[in-house]
Amino acid sequence: MSVSYTWVGWNRQKKIYDGVMLGAIALYLLVFVAVARVVQTPGQGLSDVQLVIRALGTAAFVLLHIVLCIGPLARLDRRLLPILYNRRHLGVTTFFVGLAHALLSIVWYHGFGDLAAPLSLLTANTNYRSVSQFPFEVLGLVALVILFLMAATSHDFWLKNLTPRVWKTLHMLVYFAYAALVLHVVLGVLQQEFSVVLVGALVFGVVLVGTLHVAAGVREVRKDRAAVNATDSTTWIDVCGVDDIPEKRARVVCLRSANEAHGERVAVFRYDGKVSVVSNVCEHQGGPLGEGKIVGGCITCPWHGYQYLPGTGQSPPPFTEKIKTYQVRVEGRRVLVNPEARAPGTPVDPATIEEAPR
């Protein structure tokens, strides 16, 4: 979290993360080429350049799988939330590894003829109606363009200027890029040589990524369906008991006011004998604030550490982020919330928790 933009907000954790990531990629490339040289059949006769092309391609594909698995894993088990930190660097690295694969492939397969290599890439094969002869390179190019757009707009500067909604929609194109890459592999290398290992790995990857996303999605939609309804705008909704909320933590509840079609998740925080209710959606990347905790008097997002004051929904100065707030009161040991959201950053008095009867 920073008030001004810098290229990368380096800290010790990020340096370690990036060092381990780059080391692992280099090791993967070396091991892939070394092993492939030994195990390839005599008839294959792949050169070292071709092996490097494949090593880079598989590395980018594996990295994309990891990037795609991190989100649902963190949603399914909050103990895995730390792996979400710095996912952005992993995504940008995926683009650069994919770019290296693409450039080397274009030079190697399209760079020794009459036409310029990029032109040859787009015109050499136009068998779009054939499965076995399909110009699979175009699918890789489409995926690379999407990964480029994501990498280029990954900085918080673009998140702020594009607005979180547009930014999120743009970055959801990664699913389209993933589908294009699966087809790139199926219609590319799989057409050249059949490999049980390759097909098995491909199916495993699709099933793994798909299952994790569906499992996490079903869980989230079920939470939304359990929304507590209000009958009119003045209704106070009984959301939970005070004792259901751990100290300095929150209970997430889905509220649906009388004039809303869909429910809205709110985070009911308990701290220092008080209760405050704010939107569950972080202004930064839509992180689940209710899964975070109160650190130094501020609600802290579990994704990237953005902070908000529980009584106002505003980030502490000099930061300017704001989230919606909700009126709350405590009756006995029950927490009641008005489902009509206040404008982001509107101060709302916290409810005071009465002493439990002894």
Partner 1 sequence: MIAAQRRAHLIVWIVLVPVLLAAIVVGVVSRKPRAVERGAAQARPSEPAADAPTDAIAPDANDASSDASRKEPSR
**CB of residue 290 vs partner 1: minimum separation in angstroms?**
13
Nearer CB in complex with partner 1: 71/311? 71
Nearer CB in complex with partner 1: 93/285? 285
**CB of residue 345 vs partner 1: minimum separation in angstroms?**
18
Nearer CB in complex with partner 1: 30/49? 49
**CB of residue 229 vs partner 1: minimum separation in angstroms?**
14
Nearer CB in complex with partner 1: 21/179? 179
**CB of residue 120 vs partner 1: minimum separation in angstroms?**
5
**CB of residue 10 vs partner 1: minimum separation in angstroms?**
31
How close are the terminal C-alpha atoms of the chain, in Å? 44
Task: Note whether 86 and 59 are within 8 A (CB).
Answer: no
CA 216 to each of CA 59, 212, 285: distance values in angstroms, whole numbers, following the listed order: 26, 6, 18
Nearer CB in complex with partner 1: 193/272? 193
CA–CA separation, 181 and 243 (whole Å)? 49
Q: Who's near 327: CB < 8 A, 6+ residues apart?
A: 277, 337, 338, 340, 342, 348
Please give the radius of gyration of the chain, using alpha carbons only, rounded to the nearest integer: 25
CA–CA separation, 257 and 304 (whole Å)? 30
Q: Which residues bind partner 1 (CB under 8 A)?
A: 46-47, 49-50, 108-115, 117, 119-121, 123-125, 131-133, 137, 165, 168, 172, 175, 179, 182-183, 186-187, 190-194, 199, 202-203, 206-207, 210-211, 213-214, 217-218, 220-221, 224, 254, 262-265, 281, 286
CA–CA separation, 13 and 350 (whole Å)? 35
Nearer CB in complex with partner 1: 150/242? 150
CA–CA separation, 65 and 52 (whole Å)? 20
